[in-house]
Every structure is written in C-alpha cells, then in structure tokens.
Structure 1
Amino acid sequence: MDSIRQFMEDHLQEIIEDIKFLVECDSPSLNKKLMDECGERIQELLYRYFGKRAEVLEEEKFGNHLKFEYGERDETILILSHFDTVWEPGDLEFKIEGDRAYGPGILDMKGGLVQAIWAIIAIKELKIPFSKKIVFLFTSDEEVSSPTSRYVIEEIAKDCDYALVTEPPVVRTGALKTERKGSARYYIDITGKAAHAGNNHHEGVSAIQEAAKAIDFLESLTDYEVGTTVNVGFVKGGGKLNVVADHAEIGIDVRAGTSEEQERIDEIIHGLTPFTEGTSLDVRGGVSRPPMERNQDTKDLFQTAKEAAKEEGIKLKEASVGGGSDGNLTASMGVPTLDGLGTIGDGIHARNEHIIISSIPERAAFFSNLLIGIGTNDGEA
C-alpha cells in the first residue's frame, strides 16, 4: 500500500468525525444564519490542520463564501466545494449503519468537501513535493443555482489553470463527470380576460387554456437525440370554478448539451407569442448555467486523473450527465475542468442520502494523486 493510501487508512476515523462535524450543522441554502454557522465549522477544520483560516467573502442574503489558499506557485488549481444543502433543519440526522454514513448533504457534498481537505493534508503532512498553488473555494448557494457565488467563481477562475469539483461521482460506476448539460429556467405569466362562467362564458378568454397550449408547444421542443429536454414543472392559475381564469403561470426547466442549442431554445422561449387571441405572455428568466462541454483540455486532464486513479487500483471512467454544477461555469470559461471528485454513495436529494465509508481512503488518496499529478506534469498525459 502506498504512503498516501496508508495515511488515509490511518486517519479514516478522523475523516469520518470531520464529516460528521459538518453534516450535523444543518445548512439549507436560504438560511444565512445556519449557513454561516456551518462556514465557521469549515474555518475550524482549516485552522486545525493548516494553522490559518480562509478569507471570508461576505454576502448579505446568502451565506458567506470562503476562499482558502495553499501553496505559492504561479499556476493554480481551483477546487470547488459547496456546503449548502437542500434539507431544512431536522429533516435528516447523521447516523452510521454498517459501511454507510447517512445525513443531510453528506453526499452532496460535505463528504467530498472534507475528503478534498484531507487530500491536501496528506500532501502537507507527508511532505510531498508540490509545484502548484491551490485555491479552495467553499460556496454557499450552489443548490439554488449559485446566484451570488457564480460571480466569485468566475472572477477567481479567470486566474486559474485547472478546476476540480468535489460533487459526487456517478452512482455505482464512480465515473468522473467530464460533460454536463447546461440549464435554464423560465417563468411565463399569462393574462386572459375574466367572465362569469355561466352567464357570460363567451366574453371570457381563459388564461388556463392558453397555458395548456403553451405547455403542449414547449414540451414538444424536447429532443432526446439532440440531448435537449424542456420540462414544464410548475403550473398555477385561476381561482373560483365559476370564473373564466384571467391569469396563469407556468415554470420551465431546460437542459441542453451545447451552447448553440441552449441559445436556440432561449430565443424560442423569449420569442413566444400568444396562441389564443385576447391573451398576453410575459416571459421571465433565462440561462442559469452554460453547458460543460468536453474538449481536448478535458480529455488531457482526465488522462492525468486515470493515471492517478491507477495508483489506487481504480479503473476510472468518465460520463456525460444531465445535471449542472459550478463546473459548468469554469468549463465555459475555458478552464480545464473535472467534476465528480467527491465521495462514493447514493441518494442525492433523497432521504437515504449516504456515503460508503470504506471507499473514502481510496478516493481521498486518488484526489491527492491527482493534485500531485497535475502539480508535477502540468496536466499532460
């Protein structure tokens, strides 16, 4: 067993305790108080292992973001981890059953966050030569599409040479994510004309009927062969049953594999005109994350990751997925990006969210090897 893997095995219980320390601090995206309390726990870990705290990037409505630096070289590796979760306080609790550790955000992505910290600790404690600077960014609003952190990420990423994202890998295969669809969200307000449904039905113009026509058209834009999905996931409208509805609202989620396709769908939705005479449409929203497209830089970085994984006996795979992450932002800026470097587990956004404890030493050692491989070989195969 190599020294890094042995280091992780020797410190596994401490790693689990650190994960527990963060998971037991609930951190729903929209609760600034709890988010900042969780951020303070991250600060405690950083100070414990590195003797210094992260720079606090203050936010008014969301939790503060944290920026931590390790190393002094010119070229820079950006590590992205978010510590907000989809869970409200008390929804889930930390527990261990056999080889599984459960808890809110343990897989998505506090486990991966801690695992990445320990990957750096191993390099530090084992005094392994390392020729890059690491900028570790902990963000507080990824689960709500990064409304404030995206600008922080983009500002920092423009000076970085690589980006590594500690989201979970693909379930069951452990594959890294080298390609992600872009995402967009829209809301359409529909206005009609109210009338008495019994006495003057002919004088009304139903906003609900217009919504139905719009929904049918929007859903027809889905093209599985191209990789585009358009999903109307929210509908409301009307009120009393004896009144022709004069208002309706629909919400749409769009996923697309390329920037060109994302822009095409965006133009169609923003260019919608009423299907029913006497109604009007007001479209809000737009692109939230561009696609993370696989290019030659991605391929080269993944090859470095394959070599790093081979040292731990991992036959590393890659995958294209529909969900988005902050890796979409860095990749769209031309920064070579790998995603899915977090903990192995299952149940993202589900009540059975968990990580596999026995996989942590292997994956943490792999992350260390990847940092070292980038640091010594400039990311080339």
Structure 2
Amino acid sequence: MRRASLLAEAAAHAPRMRAELAALVERESYSSDLPALHSCADLVAELGTQAMGSPPRRLESAGRPHLLWPGSGTGDVLVLGHFDTVWPTGTLARWPFEVDGELATGPGVFDMKAGIVQLFAALRLLPSTEGVAVLLTSDEELGSPSSRALIEDTARGCRAVLVPEPSADGALKTARKGIGTYRLDVGGRAAHAGLEPHKGVNATVEVARQVLRIAALGDCAEGTSVTPTVLSGGSSMNTVPEHASVRVDVRAWSAAELERVDAALRALEPVAAGARLELDGGINRYALESAYSAHLFASAVREARALGLGPLRGAAVGGGSDGNLTAGLGVPTLDGLGAVGDHAHAPGEYADLSAMPQRAALLAALIGRLLGTGRGTGR
C-alpha cells in the first residue's frame, strides 16, 4: 500500500509547504475585513487549484468568499476548514511570519493556515482527487453565520468529514463541546438616583441577580459551563439604570445538556417588580460527540501506525469548530487533523514545521482508506 514511500513523498514536499505557509500567513485574513478575506481567498484558490487540478466554485454570502471544490457526488469525503483568522489587519506589521529552527510563528499560522497547507499537500499525494470535496470558509471564527447552510448542504450525503483544524498538542480532536450563545436584556425604569431612586426599577441590580441564577446553571460533573461574560448597564452616574444586559457563553458535551440550559434560560423571570427580561440567542452548534468520530479515529490510528508515526492520541476539547455542524447532521466527523503546535488565538502561536509532512501523509492515507483508492504516486 506504499505507506513508506508516501511518507517519503510527503517529506519531499516540505520546502514547498514552508513556502506556501509563509505566503498564506503573509496574506492577512481577519474575519471582519472583507477586502482582506477576498485577497486571501485569491491565494487559497490558486494553491488549491494546483492541488485539485481544477479551480474552486467561489461562493459569496453576505459579501464573504467561500471556496468549494465539489466532489463527484454522494459518498464523497469532505475536507472542511477555514482561512479567516482572529488577528486584526495590521498585526503582521508588528508580528511577521518567522521561522526559528522547526517552529514557524505568525498570525494564523496554527489556526489554521498550516492545516490548509497540509491539506493541499495531502491532495497532491493522492493518485486522484475524485471523490474528495473541499470547502474552505471565511467566517468560522465568527461562528459561521454566512457559511453554515453551505457547510450543512455540502456535508449531507458525505461518507465522512475530515477537519484539518489544529491538533490538541498533537492529538486529534475526537470530541468537541457544543456551544450556546445568548444575550439577556433587562429593562427597568429610570429615576433620579439622588432625588427619588425609589421610583426607579434598577436594571443593573436586576441583571446582577440574574447573573447569579445563570452561573448556577453550570454542572461541573457533566462538564457543562455556563459563563456570564460581557456585562453592561446604566447611562449616567446619577440615574437609576433603565437598561442592562449580559452575554452568556454555554458549553456542554451533549445535546441534552445544551437543551437543559437553553430551557432554563428561557424560563428566567424577573426578581424585581416592574423589571422586564428579553433573551436573544440560542444553541449555536451541537457537540461533536465521540460516537461520530470513533470509527474514523480508529482508521487514523491504523494509518499512523502503518506510516511509522508512532501512537496517535485522541482528545476531547471545549472549543467548537465547523466539525460540530457536520457531526450534528449525523455525518462521521474527525477533527484536529491539522498542525502540531500551540497558542491558538494568542500571541506567539506557532506550528511545528517538522510535523507538517507527517500530518499531510496521514491525511492522504486516511482519505485513501476511506475512498478505497490506496496511496498515490504523488503529483
């Protein structure tokens, strides 16, 4: 099955992978900068065309570019990722792409531009890309508001979804928590804080009471976190606040827990007479439960062993990705197939260049196993 030669071929691609990574990181792609996203999409499309042998369909939604290389039909293997980053345009000026030994740093290098480079290298290692669909989006870091329908429509009918998001200290991500996002708005009644505070309904006091109720919905034993985050209220120092709000982040390992918290938030009632509550938001994405990744992970373990890469670990993580969306459809999904490195979304994020050919070979071997095509001679 040519596993040894596959790894050697991947190693031969290392200089090209490094050059492509530098070019991608140096093409900034902040999620909220549409011109930058279009510019980065141009480069991603060019690199992907070389790997796939054909240009992508460039699909726009809400002004955002998404790139789709459609497969040959039902039963495709979908490789799903994103090219937007959390780093504001201009970050590169103070933190340029740099290589120190085998470690590359720069905005977005780990999450997830190294994963995109590894993906394209893997595709070049296959004898054919028939049966492989690739979707790269530009709003994952925002929660995929414009690409969600595209992701779900593309994933339906696929036999598997592989996600080259960053690994967890080298481990593949076999489970991810589901996410709920909410905003609770509190309405009160304004009054002069010095002359007649008793005539007011203090929205800040009310939101404080609700924050305690909300935080109590978490369940450590179940791994469910309910975290009040951004808090605001009031308009002036000497006015009883008429408005206040709190944002809430919910994470859980199961659909049942997400739905329990969702129902509890919707059942909140005011404490103070005259106060009003309005809840916005809901369950953003269900969990990627281990049942949907188990078979794919077992296949990846076998391929890693055959490639001589040593033991392959799996990990359950709290952060979500677009893999949650596909697992939520019931499509087998394996995440974390991207870069080995650390510090995603943080200064100093880095990717291990020495691991990139190995991970490209693993992805190629896994795709080949799923499609039953074996390993290619490379292109």
Q: Structures share a fold, TM > 0.5?
A: yes
Offset of 1:377 from its aligned partner?
Answer: 8.8
Offset of 1:277 from its aligned partner?
Answer: 1.1
Residue 273 of structure 1 is matched in structure 2 by: 269
5+ residue gaps, structure 2, are 375-379
Offset of 1:74 from its aligned partner?
Answer: 5.2
Residue 307 of structure 1 is matched in structure 2 by: 302
Offset of 1:175 from its aligned partner?
Answer: 1.2
Higher mean displacement: 37-46 or 312-321? 312-321
CA distance in structure 2 between the partners assigned to 1:74 and 1:264 by the alignment: 35
Offset of 1:239 from its aligned partner?
Answer: 2.5
Alignment of 1:97-136 (within 5 A): 97-124=100-127, 133-136=131-134
SS of the residue 1:277 aligns to: coil
Residue 323 of structure 1 is matched in structure 2 by: 319
Q: What one-letter code is carried by the residue in structure 2 that aligns with 1:375?
A: L
Residue 357 of structure 1 is matched in structure 2 by: 353
Offset of 1:73 from its aligned partner?
Answer: 7.2
SS of the residue 2:126 aligns to: helix
Alignment of 1:85-234 (within 5 A): 85-91=85-91, 92-124=95-127, 133-171=131-169, 174-234=170-230
TM-score (norm. length: structure 1): 0.93
SS of the residue 2:294 aligns to: helix
> 2:11 aligned with 1:35, yes or no?
no
Q: What one-letter code is carried by the residue in structure 2 that aligns with 1:329?
A: L
CA distance in structure 1 between the partners assigned to 2:144 and 2:115 by the alignment: 18
SS of the residue 2:281 aligns to: strand
TM-score (norm. length: structure 2): 0.93
Q: What one-letter code is carried by the residue in structure 2 that aligns with 1:37?
A: S
Superposed CA RMSD in Å reads: 1.7
Contact residue 80 and residue 137 of structure 1 kept, 8 A: yes
CA distance in structure 2 between the partners assigned to 1:320 and 1:137 by the alignment: 24
Q: What one-letter code is carried by the residue in structure 1 that aligns with 2:19?
A: E
CA distance in structure 1 between the partners assigned to 2:293 and 2:65 by the alignment: 30
CA distance in structure 2 between the partners assigned to 1:164 and 1:49 by the alignment: 17
Offset of 1:318 from its aligned partner?
Answer: 1.1
> 2:248 aligned with 1:252, yes or no?
yes
Q: What one-letter code is carried by the residue in structure 2 that aligns with 1:56?
A: R
Higher mean displacement: 93-102 or 337-346? 93-102
Higher mean displacement: 312-321 or 15-24? 312-321
Q: What one-letter code is carried by the residue in structure 1 that aligns with 2:162?
A: L
> 2:58 aligned with 1:56, yes or no?
yes
Residue 240 of structure 1 is matched in structure 2 by: 236
Identity value in percent: 38
Offset of 1:312 from its aligned partner?
Answer: 3.0
Cα shift readout 1:169-227 (whole Å, capped 9, x = no counterpart): 112xx111111111011011111111111121211111000010000110111111111
> 2:66 aligned with 1:65, yes or no?
yes
CA distance in structure 2 between the partners assigned to 1:60 and 1:199 by the alignment: 49
Cα shift readout 1:30-64 (whole Å, capped 9, x = no counterpart): 21111111011011112334442111112233x21
Q: What one-letter code is carried by the residue in structure 2 that aligns with 1:144?
A: L
Q: What one-letter code is carried by the residue in structure 2 that aligns with 1:309?
A: A
5+ residue gaps, structure 1, are none
Offset of 1:138 from its aligned partner?
Answer: 0.6
SS of the residue 1:36 aligns to: helix
CA distance in structure 1 between the partners assigned to 2:367 and 2:310 by the alignment: 16
Residue 367 of structure 1 is matched in structure 2 by: 363
Q: What one-letter code is carried by the residue in structure 2 that aligns with 1:110?
A: K
SS of the residue 1:313 aligns to: coil
CA distance in structure 2 between the partners assigned to 1:213 and 1:372 by the alignment: 56
CA distance in structure 2 between the partners assigned to 1:376 and 1:189 by the alignment: 53
> 2:299 aligned with 1:298, yes or no?
no
Question: How many residues are matched?
Answer: 368
CA distance in structure 1 between the partners assigned to 2:49 and 2:167 by the alignment: 28
CA distance in structure 2 between the partners assigned to 1:35 and 1:349 by the alignment: 18
SS of the residue 1:2 aligns to: helix
